[in-house]
Amino acid sequence: MESRNKSQVSEFLLLGFSEEPELQPFIFGLFLSMYLVTIFGNLLIILATISDSDLHTPMYFFLSNLSFADICISSTTVPKMLVNIQTQINVISYAGCLSQMSFFLLFAVLEDFLLTVMAYDRFVAVCHPLHYLVIMNPRLCVLLLLGSWFISVLHSLLHSFMVLQLSFCTHLEIPHFFCELHEMTQLACSDSFIHDIVMYFAIGLLGVVPLAGILFSYSKIVSSICAISSAQGKYKAFSTCVSHISVVSLFYFTSLGVNFSSCGTQKTHSNAPASVMYTVVTPMLNPFIYSLRNKDIKGALKKFFGLSSH
**Per-position pLDDT tens, the chain of length 310:** 344 444 456 788 888 876 777 888 998 999 999 999 999 999 999 998 998 888 899 999 999 999 999 999 999 999 999 999 888 888 999 899 999 999 999 999 999 999 999 999 999 999 998 999 999 999 999 999 999 999 999 999 999 999 988 888 776 888 888 998 888 888 888 777 888 888 888 878 887 889 899 999 999 999 988 888 888 878 877 887 888 888 888 888 777 666 655 554 554 555 677 778 878 888 998 888 887 667 778 787 778 777 665 4
The pLDDT of residue 97 is 92
The pLDDT of residue 46 is 93
Q: What HEC string does the chain produce?
A: CCCCCHHHCCEEEECCCCCCHHHHHHHHHHHHHHHHHHHHHHHHHHHHHHHCHHHCCHHHHHHHHHHHHHHHHHHHHHHHHHHHHHHCCCEEEHHHHHHHHHHHHHHHHHHHHHHHHHHHHHHHHHHCHHHHHHHCCHHHHHHHHHHHHHHHHHHHHHHHHHHHCCCECCCCEECCCCCCHHHHHHCECCCCHHHHHHHHHHHHHHHHHHHHHHHHHHHHHHHHHHHCCCHHHHHHHHHHHHHHHHHHHHHHHHHHHHHHHCCCCCCCCCHHHHHHHHHHHHHHHHHHHHHHCCHHHHHHHHHHCCCCCC
Domain 6-304 has CATH 1.20.1070.10: yes
The pLDDT of residue 159 is 92
In angstroms, the first-to-last Cα distance of the chain is: 77
Taking the model in full, what pTM does it have? 0.88
Cβ 41 vs Cβ 290: under 8 Å:
no
The pLDDT of residue 261 is 57
The pLDDT of residue 191 is 79
Whole-number Å distance between alpha carbons of 243 and 210: 18
Whole-number Å distance between alpha carbons of 278 and 112: 11
The pLDDT of residue 304 is 75
Cβ 206 vs Cβ 91: under 8 Å:
no
Among residues 209, 110, 94, the alpha carbon closest in space to that of 154 is found at 110
Put the strands of the sheet holding 11-14 in their side by side order. Answer: 91-93, 11-14, 173-174
